[in-house]
């Protein structure tokens, strides 16, 4: 199979060269930028674009194989600016190709998968677009290909979905059958801890008929305790405030008759070492308190990982993911759970109290992670009925 490379001063010009030489059905393997010395390719040109392409295999699928050789670089230096692709269809095709192969470019071996199994490529791209890391996406696709052969994207996707969900564990805090459950929620500023507690309190009190008490130890944010007290007043629940460890012990004593005590904490930067130590000291020795880390799904992956690492000194027992309605790339949740394995306890999908709140389980996680991908696979919607989240899987 011929593998050819084309260089031009713009991606549009390079794509035009591909079309002219290999035809409109050529497959784009990769695109990249190449820095050049100023003036080497004309005034003001500081970079070139290189497109690697192969001829279309339409009408002869049996001859698709791994590239056996690569022809010399086709260096067609334009003497004048090339005309851009003028038709709307050509523009759409170009954008799709660029998006597809920019994703595949994360892994050098993706070309082999593309040439040998288009269904696997379709599933792989869908996972990466959802925010799942390229390494995990490729590994899961490879495993699924062994268990679901046949080239059916929908069947392959379901196999991958099951592999992803196997990586999750779920916990049920606040459901102690005997004794009292005391749950504290910690995390950075603005992730929605107070609202999450209000939602959980409403669910426990109104739906599960639990005797609930609320406790705020957020003495940094103006009005934080008042916000929690407002929720408590609406629900008819007691709400106390504590400023130090002595206050905390006293407040827990006053709430000793409650089935569940929910503790709201001050939001703080994971990089504020002093305040992190203060919180660790506040909970030190309180073995009865079950701590849960609240993370926003819109947080970038590296910051989410760093947050979990720095809050690790509190020995939290589960993740609570909030603001999942504000992003389409929920694969960051998958990546975080794989990097630092910990059960997921609750999912928050919006601002409404108490509607936008769910206990994490396999079905809820399946809807959360995969519902937006259903359009890529024709029979995906037949895999299940809508659950309480209103998403079909």
Residue 265 and residue 185 in contact, taking contact as beta carbons nearer than 8 Å = yes
Residue 156 and residue 119 in contact, taking contact as beta carbons nearer than 8 Å = yes
- What domains appear along the chain, each with residue ranges and CATH number? 1-87 (no CATH), 181-360 (3.40.50.300)
Residue 389 pLDDT: 44
- Among 15-24, 98-107, 334-343, top mean pLDDT goes to 334-343
Residue 214: enclosing H or E segment and its boundaries?
A: strand 212-217
Residue 390 pLDDT: 40
Residue 374 pLDDT: 62
Q: For residues 7 and 77, give the distance between their C-alpha atoms in angstroms, rounded to a whole number.
A: 8
Residue 65 pLDDT: 41
Residue 332 and residue 299 in contact, taking contact as beta carbons nearer than 8 Å = yes
Name the average pLDDT for the chain: 78
Mean predicted confidence (pLDDT) in 364-386: 64
pLDDT confidence bin for 101, thresholds 50/70/90: low
Residue 81 pLDDT: 43
Residue 275 pLDDT: 83
Count of alpha carbons within 13 Å of 219, Cβ hemisphere only? 13
- Among 156-170, 224-238, 361-375, top mean pLDDT goes to 156-170
Of 2-11, 189-198, 356-365, the one with minimum mean pLDDT is: 2-11
**Does 105 or 25 have the greater pLDDT score?**
25
Q: Tell if the pTM clears 0.75, that is, is over it.
A: no
| pLDDT(314) > 50 | yes
**pLDDT > 90: what percent of the chain?**
31
Residue found under tokens 């070309």: 111
Residue 114 pLDDT: 54
């Amino acid at each position: 199979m011929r593998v050819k490379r084309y260089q031009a001063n713009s991606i549009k010009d390079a794509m035009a060269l591909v079309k002219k030489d290999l035809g409109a059905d050529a497959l784009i393997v990769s695109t990249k930028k190449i820095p050049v010395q100023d003036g080497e390719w004309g005034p003001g040109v500081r970079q070139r674009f290189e497109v690697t392409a192969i001829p279309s295999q339409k009408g002869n699928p049996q001859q698709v194989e791994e590239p056996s050789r690569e022809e010399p670089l086709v260096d067609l230096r334009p003497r004048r600016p090339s005309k851009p692709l003028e038709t709307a269809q050509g523009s759409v095709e170009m954008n799709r190709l660029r998006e597809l192969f920019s994703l595949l470019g994360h892994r050098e071996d993706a070309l082999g998968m593309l040439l040998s199994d288009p269904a696997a490529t379709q599933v792989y791209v869908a996972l990466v677009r959802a925010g799942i890391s390229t390494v995990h996406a490729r590994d899961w696709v490879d495993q699924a290909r062994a268990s679901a052969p046949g080239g059916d994207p929908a069947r392959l996707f379901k196999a991958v979905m099951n592999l992803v969900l196997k990586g999750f564990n779920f916990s049920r805090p606040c459901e102690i059958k005997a004794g009292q459950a005391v749950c504290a929620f910690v995390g950075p500023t603005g992730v929605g801890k107070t609202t999450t507690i209000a939602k959980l309190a409403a669910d426990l009190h109104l739906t599960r008929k639990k005797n609930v008490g609320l406790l705020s130890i957020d003495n940094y944010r103006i009005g934080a305790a008042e916000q929690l007290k407002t929720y408590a007043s609406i629900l008819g629940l007691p709400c106390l405030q504590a400023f130090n460890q002595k206050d905390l012990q006293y407040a827990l004593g006053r709430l000793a008759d409650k089935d569940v005590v929910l503790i709201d904490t001050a939001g703080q930067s994971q990089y504020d070492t002093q305040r992190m130590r203060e919180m660790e000291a506040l909970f030190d020795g309180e073995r009865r308190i079950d701590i849960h880390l609240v993370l926003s799904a819109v947080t970038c992956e590296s910051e989410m990982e760093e947050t979990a690492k720095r809050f690790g000194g509190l020995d939290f027992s589960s993740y609570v993911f909030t603001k999942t309605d504000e992003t389409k790339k929920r694969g960051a949740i998958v990546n975080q759970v794989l990097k630092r394995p910990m059960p997921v306890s609750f999912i928050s999908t919006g601002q409404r109290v108490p509607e936008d709140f769910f206990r994490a389980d396999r079905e809820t996680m399946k809807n959360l992670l995969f519902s937006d991908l259903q359009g890529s696979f024709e029979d995906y919607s037949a895999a299940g009925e809508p659950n309480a989240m209103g998403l079909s899987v």
